[in-house]
């Protein structure tokens, strides 16, 4: 099994903070769907069981569109989307981390994989 690392993410104002466990993140997904292309999020997916929201559950607002499968959560104060909640086709909960919001990650060093979310 790959070694798990601990990552720390937050929104801009700091109301929303989380801890995420993942194998070392060296790649991220850049998605061209109508949401991601506007936000510029860079995504990495982890099982929801490896994600712990440490603060900000009452600071988050939810936005949904299209099939309403993904909860695009953002901070009510600063507007930053630091993660989203979704589900695999089989229903398993997953978290889409916005790696731009993670302290330990420099987005400029990541290998970027483009996905065609527009067509999903």
Q: List contacts with Zn ion (CB under 5 A).
A: 11, 13, 15, 75, 77-78
Least CB distance from residue 55 to Zn ion, whole Å? 10
Going 95 to 68 to 114 to 116, the CA torsion angle's sign is positive
Residue placing its CB nearer to Zn ion in the complex, 39 or 115 = 39
Helix, strand, coil percentages in the chain from 3-state DSSP, rounded to 5: 15, 45, 40
Residue placing its CB nearer to Zn ion in the complex, 29 or 74 = 74
Residue placing its CB nearer to Zn ion in the complex, 61 or 69 = 61
Residue nearest to Zn ion (CB): 75
Least CB distance from residue 14 to Zn ion, whole Å? 6
Q: Which residues contact 115 (CB under 8 A, 6 or more apart)?
A: 29, 30, 31, 32
Least CB distance from residue 13 to Zn ion, whole Å? 3
Please report how many Cα atoms fall inside a 13 Å half-sphere around the Cα of residue 54, on the Cβ side. Answer: 12
Phi/psi region, residue 83 (left: phi>0; alpha: psi -120 to 50; beta: rest), is: beta
Residue placing its CB nearer to Zn ion in the complex, 17 or 115 = 17
Q: Two tokens at 85?
A: 């909640």
Least CB distance from residue 59 to Zn ion, whole Å? 6
């Amino acid at each position: 099994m790959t070694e798990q690392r601990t990552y720390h993410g937050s929104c801009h104002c700091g109301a929303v903070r989380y801890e995420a466990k993942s194998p070392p993140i060296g790649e991220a997904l850049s998605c061209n769907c109508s949401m991601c292309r506007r936000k510029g999020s860079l995504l990495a997916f982890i099982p929801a069981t490896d994600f712990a929201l440490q603060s900000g559950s009452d600071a988050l607002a939810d936005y949904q569109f299209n099939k309403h499968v993904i909860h695009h959560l953002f901070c009510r104060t600063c507007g930053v989307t630091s993660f989203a909640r979704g589900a695999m086709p089989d229903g398993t909960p997953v978290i889409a981390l916005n790696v731009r919001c993670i302290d330990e990650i420099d987005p400029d060093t990541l290998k970027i994989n483009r996905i065609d979310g527009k067509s999903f």
